[in-house]
Amino acid sequence: MTSRTPLIAGNWKLHNTVAESQALASAIAAHVGNGLACEVVVGPVATSLSAVSQTLRGSAVGLSAQNTHWEDSGAFTGELSPTLLADVGCSHCIIGHSERRQYFGETDAGVRKKVAAVLAHKVVPIVCVGESLEQREAGKTLDVVLGQVEAATEGLDAVALAPLVVAYEPIWAIGTGRTAKAEDAQDVHRAIRGRLAELKGESWSDSIRILYGGSVKPSNADELLAEPDVDGALVGGASLSADNFIPIIDAGVRRAES
């Protein structure tokens, strides 16, 4: 029994038109209704945020952006800001996803600025951390992951960081069908919580949700969510169909009720 409410979040990445996004959001909202024992969030592409926000009105499903700039406005062609995300109804924002770090030059310093910026607009940051296969094989998993966690939270205190969500996503498990073994995920999650405790205090770290991401599917969700420090999931591929995502939500409910 944990006091942390499980969180199941779908990262739709670069998929779905507005109509497809609304249809998927609507099927998920119908399942979640006005609330379950676990929290549920969906993360459509930026062009669907406004429409999905309308679809989700009156449901307990939260809305997440997949990225943001840290500035509120200005000469930043192509960017979105925390002000605009809040304006369109986003409750959450994924920050520092490995695909952004890998393909779009996102740095730890940028992640830290984005975390502070979204928190200032009462948008919950879902901060992604994770090691590559090469780093894992070199025994550097904890160095990399704990370094990313430390950088993302630097300069912010436990009060400001109260809503923080961390997502541990080993890069080698993303979209590959290779999931971390539940006990390996638990080891990293426990280490993340331990580092958070050292940085900002144990009562705060005990309240922070740490999600696992990387090939989560209906068949492995219960096993992962049975681990004491795995407080939910950040789901890519399996969040793109209600038939796959809803059973993962139900695994989150089982964790909440266990």
Query: Active-site residue numbers?
Result: 97, 169
Report the residue number, 35 or 175, with the smaller CB distance to ligand 13P. Answer: 175
- Report the interface residues with ligand 13P, using CB under 6 A: 11, 97, 169, 174-175, 213-216, 234-238
Token readout for 200 is: 């900002």
For 198, residues 6+ apart whose C-beta sits below 8 A from its C-beta are none
Q: How many residues are present in the chain?
A: 258
CB 41, min distance to ligand 13P, A: 12
- Report CA-CA distances (Å) from 25 to 58, 59, 62, 80, 248: 12, 10, 10, 22, 15
Report the residue number, 199 or 231, with the smaller CB distance to ligand 13P. Answer: 231
CB 13, min distance to ligand 13P, A: 7
CB 151, min distance to ligand 13P, A: 19
Q: The tokens 């290779």 sit on which residue?
A: 178
CB 132, min distance to ligand 13P, A: 13
Report the distance separating Cα 128 and Cα 133, nearest Å.
Answer: 16
Residue 239 sits at the vertex; the CA angle it makes with 238 and 241, to the nearest 5 degrees, is 85
CB 96, min distance to ligand 13P, A: 11
Report the residue number, 97 or 209, with the smaller CB distance to ligand 13P. Answer: 97
Report the residue number, 38 or 234, with the smaller CB distance to ligand 13P. Answer: 234
Report the residue number, 55 or 179, with the smaller CB distance to ligand 13P. Answer: 179
Backbone φ, ψ for residue 139 (5° rounding) = 75, 25
The alpha carbon torsion through 180, 220, 166, 178 (nearest 10 deg) reads: 30
Report the distance separating Cα 180 and Cα 186, nearest Å.
Answer: 9
Dihedral (CA of 199, 201, 204, 210) sign:
positive
Q: Which residue's C-beta sits nearest to ligand 13P?
A: 236
